């Protein structure tokens, strides 16, 4: 439960700037297994200053008003008033199911320059003030916080920050098991995530970092006692991971990866949504990065990436997909690989 919202299954899709826009969320929703999708992070200040009406709607709010619920909208800034004003609009006008505040982003422009995101981790009191203002502004819509373990290994203070979120009326806290200084280096430290749990009396703890397989999700619940988990990067490469993890959690057989033909179709559906919104030129350029993610971990991914990262028209994109979309041989025993190549050729020829 996140406030009044039942998150079932307790599998959350991580907000990822540049990736988790409407198109990606629709793909994830269609495949199933995600309890709560999230937008990319939205600059609260940008939203206030650029208008936010009609055509001026920030790109990051694409689809937000109309898509199915539940949906978490993530915002960032360091000013409680700015965050509260934007959260209120997102809750009332945009009917967001959850307002999530970013206290974890380590990127220079957000953290050092704008003194937001992970910069605020050093000030748990300030985090508490922000959460309290936002909660008051958009009640009864639940407000959550996404944090990291701390700024550095030497100054880990996630338990204090999580406590501040809870005391201020927050409805859940998500912890990415790295410090801001670590960015994405090393492995997420789930031991440290688990240590936060006894400090929370009322609200759920959601663990995040490096979950890549259905089994790793099951283990996270069993071993670290979290109430929910959030999946980021692995869900870009394999958006069907959520439904696989859902089955594993329920003790059901894990559904197989989609066939190559279905993966191919998924990529094209994703492309269609992007093109409809951004037009053929911008859409194709934007799609390069998603296409590269789809190919991750597959045999032939390198050639596909090289080719697709240069395309700038729909014709070039389709050509790259037809010629190079990888054959997912990595998880097949050798004797099946010839058959897979045959299927791939068939699918591409369809």
∠ at Cα 24 (316, 148), nearest 5°?
125
Q: Of 105, 138, 292, 298, which residue is the catalytic one? A: 105
Q: How many residues touch ligand FMN (CB under 6 A)?
A: 22
Does 186 contact ligand FMN by CB under 6 A?
Answer: no
Does 94 contact ligand FMN by CB under 6 A?
Answer: no
Does 150 contact ligand FMN by CB under 6 A?
Answer: no
Active site residue 138: no
CA distance 230 to 11: 6
∠ at Cα 303 (297, 308), nearest 5°?
95
In a 3-state reduction of DSSP, which class is residue 322?
A: helix
Count other C-beta atoms under 10 Å from residue 32's C-beta. Answer: 15
Stretch that binds ligand FMN, among 23-31, 121-129, 207-215, 329-337 (CB under 6 A): 207-215
∠ at Cα 334 (328, 340), nearest 5°?
40
User: Residue 40 or 77: which CB sits closer to ligand FMN?
Assistant: 40
Site string for ligand FMN, 30-49 (x = CB under 6 A): ----------xx--------
User: Given the structure tokens 């993530």, which residue do they identify?
Assistant: 74
In a 3-state reduction of DSSP, which class is residue 302?
A: helix
Does 146 contact ligand FMN by CB under 6 A?
Answer: yes
Does 18 contact ligand FMN by CB under 6 A?
Answer: yes
* The one among 7, 12, 16, 159 contacting ligand FMN by CB under 6 A: 16
CA distance 208 to 188: 8
* The one among 77, 166, 182, 210 contacting ligand FMN by CB under 6 A: 210
CA distance 239 to 119: 31
Which residues contribute to the site for ligand FMN (CB under 6 A)? 14-19, 40-41, 74, 102, 104-105, 146, 176, 208-211, 231-234
Active site residues: 105
């Amino acid at each position: 439960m996140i406030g009044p919202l039942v998150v079932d299954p307790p599998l959350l899709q991580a907000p990822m700037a540049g990736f988790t826009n409407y198109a990606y969320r629709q793909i994830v929703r269609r495949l199933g297994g995600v309890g709560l999708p999230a937008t990319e992070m939205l600059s609260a200040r940008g939203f206030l200053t650029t208008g936010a009406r009609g055509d001026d709607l920030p790109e990051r709010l694409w689809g937000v008003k109309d898509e199915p619920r539940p949906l978490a909208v993530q915002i960032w800034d360091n000013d409680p008033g700015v965050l509260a004003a934007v959260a209120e609009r997102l809750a009332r006008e945009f009917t967001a199911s959850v307002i999530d505040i970013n206290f974890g982003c380590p990127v220079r422009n957000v953290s050092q320059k704008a003194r937001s995101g992970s910069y605020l981790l050093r000030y748990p009191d300030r985090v508490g003030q922000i959460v309290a203002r936002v909660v008051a502004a958009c009640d009864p819509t639940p407000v959550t916080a996404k944090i990291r373990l701390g700024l550095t290994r030497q100054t880990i203070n996630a338990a204090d920050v999580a406590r501040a979120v809870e005391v201020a009326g927050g409805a859940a806290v998500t912890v990415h098991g790295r410090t801001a200084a670590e960015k994405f280096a090393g492995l997420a430290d789930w031991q440290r995530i688990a240590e936060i749990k006894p400090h929370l009396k009322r609200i759920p703890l959601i663990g995040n970092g490096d979950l890549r397989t259905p089994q790793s999700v099951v283990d996270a619940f069993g071993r670290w006692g979290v109430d929910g988990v959030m999946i980021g990067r692995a869900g870009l490469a394999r958006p069907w991971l959520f439904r696989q993890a859902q089955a594993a959690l329920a003790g059901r057989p894990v559904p197989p990866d989609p066939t190559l033909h279905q993966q191919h179709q998924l990529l094209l559906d994703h492309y269609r949504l992007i093109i409809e919104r951004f037009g053929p030129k911008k859409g194709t350029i934007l799609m390069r990065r998603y296409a590269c993610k789809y190919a991750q971990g597959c045999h032939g991914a390198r050639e596909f990436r090289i080719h697709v990262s240069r395309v700038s028209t729909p014709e070039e994109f389709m050509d790259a997909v037809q010629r190079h979309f990888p054959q997912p041989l990595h998880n097949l025993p050798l004797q099946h690989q010839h058959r897979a190549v045959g299927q791939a050729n068939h699918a591409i020829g369809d």
